[in-house]
Structure 1
Amino acid sequence: MPPVPHPWFPLRQPNPHARLRVFGFPYAGGGASIYNGWTTALPAGIEWVSVQLPGRERRILEKPFQQLPPLLDALEEALAPLLDKPFVFFGYSMGTRIALGLTQRWQARGAPLPLGMVMAAAGAPHQPRESREALNDAEFIDLLRKYEGTPKEIFAHKELLDMVLPTLRADFAIADAVMPALPVRCPISVYGGLEDPYVTLSMLEHWSALTTGDFRTRKFPGKHFFLRTAREPLLRALREDLTRWAPDLGP
């Protein structure tokens, strides 16, 4: 019988020859499948691991986390067996908070850190921002439409919408939380969309305060979800960052 997929890493394809693992954390409402196909676009020495949070896809019936600290507690336990190799974090929008939160924790206790972190489509989390928690359902749904990240068929079926709204609200609460301005030692590359109305290019620069290592910004054509519309240039930039942080990966 095939092995039962790990709930946190259901799409993982173990690579015993990998020299580096890259953990991909999703945007609000996103699941592990948002990174489908990325493994084959990266160097052979990389094992890509998409993280599946509760409340979506195969974990749709599980209650989503509404606050970052308990989510980090659970993730630390799940990630521990996979930290036997050098690793990198890739966070998209809400996922940047998860990546940074784990790294800040591990630095505080003297644990190994990522070789680098890619933070995409997000403003720096130590900067105050307007919370979306007070929005009623109609206002929140209107916001989701404007973001253009939720499939249109979900808005057309009330049952589907009612099912995903709690997860989306929980994710937005995590995405809106202000985090401590504790810089980490690992380098950070920040990716942003040139036409993103929610994360301006000037907002990306504030990430520089959160690292004492190398800091770079990369800009791509597209709005907030440029990982869909600018997939090839994004993956090309990611390959460059990974090989810079882990030069022995090869092409």
Structure 2
Amino acid sequence: MRPSNPPVNPWFPLRQPNPHTRLRVFCFPYAGGGASIYNNWGAALPASVEVCAVQLPGRERRILEQPFRRIPALLDALEPVLAPLLDKPFVFFGYSMGTRIALALTQRWQARGAPLPLGLVMAAAGAPHRDRPSRDDLDDANFVELLRSYEGTPPEVFAHKELLEMVLPSLRADFSVADTLLPATPVRCPISAWSGEEDPHVTQESLDAWGELTTEELRLRWFPGKHFFLRTVREPLLAALREELVRWCPEVGP
């Protein structure tokens, strides 16, 4: 008899366990994004790096599950599923909303004295300890215009009322997470903060402010494009990520 395939973990649907793993990269998505945005990333990284793209409730194959609106509850659910995968050194990659999750998790673990990531790559977001207006109170019309301004939602979503109504609750929940004000507690791991050169939602000042959230080195990097530069300059982005991983964990090789 052939051995049965292990069941797919809904939190890591794309994960391909690698017996030669020396480093894991946990990738957290932007608002409305799912694990599929990180599909095939592993092929562009060193062979000993295992990519673990996080699938949050309320999207893709978890579309029928209730999305989280608050970071503490999300972290409470995440920690038990992350725990078995922390037997190797690891790095967090967060994109837009995902930067909040990655930093909040690191701050929580630092307060406990738990092992920390070797580094944080924080893309398409300003530092989350600076106060800014919440978008929870926007009515649907204004919230839809906000979504349009990010240019990340597929046009067919706006063209079909039923589809838009189906995804709005999850998107609103994600924006509540993305708007969370986090403590100004610096973490003891380096941060690499990235932005699109034409992203109207991330200013130079807000990117520089990531330096207030680390006791280690801050590196800034700008890519051509707007907020969703991970779609438009995928190869340069992955080359930059590879560079950071090798710098933080030379054991993974070139």
- Relative to the length of structure 1, the TM-score reads 0.99
Q: Which amino acid aligns with 2:93?
A: F
SS state at 1:197 partner: coil
The question of 1:81 aligning with 2:68 is answered: no
- From 139, 142, 145, the equivalent of 1:139 is 142
Provide the C-alpha distance between the structure 2 equivalents of 1:159 and 1:210, rounded to a whole number of angstroms: 41
Q: Which amino acid aligns with 1:149?
A: G
**Counterpart in the other structure of 2:57:** 54
**Counterpart in the other structure of 2:211:** 208
Provide the C-alpha distance between the structure 1 equivalents of 2:204 and 2:231, rounded to a whole number of angstroms: 19
Provide the C-alpha distance between the structure 1 equivalents of 2:195 and 2:146, rounded to a whole number of angstroms: 20
- Once the 2 structures are TM-superposed, how far is the Cα of residue 34 of structure 1 from its aligned partner? 0.6
Number of aligned residue pairs: give it: 251
Q: Which runs of 5+ in 1 are unaligned?
A: none
The question of 1:15 aligning with 2:18 is answered: yes
Q: After TM superposition, list the pairs within 5 Å mapping 1:204-243 onto structure 2.
A: 204-243=207-246
Q: Which amino acid aligns with 1:64?
A: P
User: Matched residues, percent identical?
Assistant: 73
Provide the C-alpha distance between the structure 2 equivalents of 1:114 and 1:132, rounded to a whole number of angstroms: 30
Provide the C-alpha distance between the structure 2 equivalents of 1:2 and 1:149, rounded to a whole number of angstroms: 35
**Counterpart in the other structure of 2:122:** 119
Provide the C-alpha distance between the structure 1 equivalents of 2:114 and 2:5, rounded to a whole number of angstroms: 34
**Is the contact between residue 103 and residue 184 of structure 1 (CA under 8 Å) also seen in structure 2?**
yes
Provide the C-alpha distance between the structure 1 equivalents of 2:90 and 2:240, rounded to a whole number of angstroms: 17
**Counterpart in the other structure of 1:92:** 95
CA RMSD for the aligned pairs? Answer: 0.7
- Once the 2 structures are TM-superposed, how far is the Cα of residue 70 of structure 1 from its aligned partner? 0.3
Provide the C-alpha distance between the structure 2 equivalents of 1:164 and 1:77, rounded to a whole number of angstroms: 27
Q: Which amino acid aligns with 2:238?
A: L
**Counterpart in the other structure of 2:164:** 161
* 1:76-103 Cα deviation digits (max 9, x unpaired): 1110000000000000000000000110
SS state at 1:190 partner: strand
Provide the C-alpha distance between the structure 1 equivalents of 2:214 and 2:78, rounded to a whole number of angstroms: 22
The question of 1:39 aligning with 2:51 is answered: no
Q: Which runs of 5+ in 2 are unaligned?
A: none
Provide the C-alpha distance between the structure 2 equivalents of 1:166 and 1:3, rounded to a whole number of angstroms: 32
* 1:32-59 Cα deviation digits (max 9, x unpaired): 0011111100010100000000000010
**Counterpart in the other structure of 1:244:** 247
**Counterpart in the other structure of 1:173:** 176
- Once the 2 structures are TM-superposed, how far is the Cα of residue 73 of structure 1 from its aligned partner? 0.5
Provide the C-alpha distance between the structure 2 equivalents of 1:233 and 1:32, rounded to a whole number of angstroms: 20
**Counterpart in the other structure of 1:150:** 153
Provide the C-alpha distance between the structure 2 equivalents of 1:137 and 1:110, rounded to a whole number of angstroms: 42
The list of structure 1 runs, each at least 4 consecutive aligned residues, that deviate by more than 3 angstroms after superposition, is none
**Counterpart in the other structure of 1:183:** 186
Provide the C-alpha distance between the structure 2 equivalents of 1:244 and 1:136, rounded to a whole number of angstroms: 45
**Is the contact between residue 194 and residue 201 of structure 1 (CA under 8 Å) also seen in structure 2?**
no
- Once the 2 structures are TM-superposed, how far is the Cα of residue 206 of structure 1 from its aligned partner? 0.2
